[in-house]
């Protein structure tokens, strides 16, 4: 079936620690994106990463499309990194193109 699975579901870190979030996606899912949901509910676009590696400051992401997974790395975590991280990808159904999200990883960074 069409699936996007994220792990771990919850992650607790001390400020300054590094972390890796994983997103596994099924064959029919493509064009992975990573988002951070802030406390007010807005989804902030982190990376649009169908394949390869991208970096933005302390964050980087790698998608290995042939093996159907993507990783989000957070280095030297800060309390402001807390929140829920989602990965999402698009798939085709009978009616057209749709988007599917994982259930998210809730990150808590304490000082």
Nearest to 2 by CA among 26, 35, 38, 36: 26
Please report, as residue ranges, which positions from 16 to 35 form the binding site for another protein (by CB under 8 A). 30-31, 33, 35
11 phi and psi, to 5 degrees?
-145, 130
Nearest to 24 by CA among 69, 85, 72, 90: 69
Please work out the total of residues on this chain that contact another protein, with binding judged by CB under 8 A: 24
95: contact with another protein by CB under 8 A = yes
52: contact with another protein by CB under 8 A = no
Stretch that binds another protein, among 8-16, 18-26, 63-71, 91-99 (CB under 8 A): 91-99
Nearest to 18 by CA among 64, 52, 62, 59: 59
The contact set with another protein (CB under 8 A) reads 30-31, 33, 35, 40-45, 48, 86, 88, 90, 93, 95-101, 103-104
């Amino acid at each position: 079936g069409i699936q996007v699975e994220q792990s771990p579901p919850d992650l607790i870190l001390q400020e300054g620690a590094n972390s890796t979030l994983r997103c596994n996606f099924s064959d029919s899912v493509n064009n992975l994106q990573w988002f951070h949901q802030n406390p007010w509910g807005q989804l902030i676009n982190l990376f649009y990463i169908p394949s390869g590696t991208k970096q933005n400051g302390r964050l980087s992401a790698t998608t290995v499309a042939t093996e159907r997974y993507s990783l989000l790395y957070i280095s030297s975590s800060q309390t402001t990194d807390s929140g829920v991280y989602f990965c999402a990808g698009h798939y085709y159904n009978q009616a057209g193109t749709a988007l599917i999200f994982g259930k998210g990883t809730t990150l808590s960074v304490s000082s």
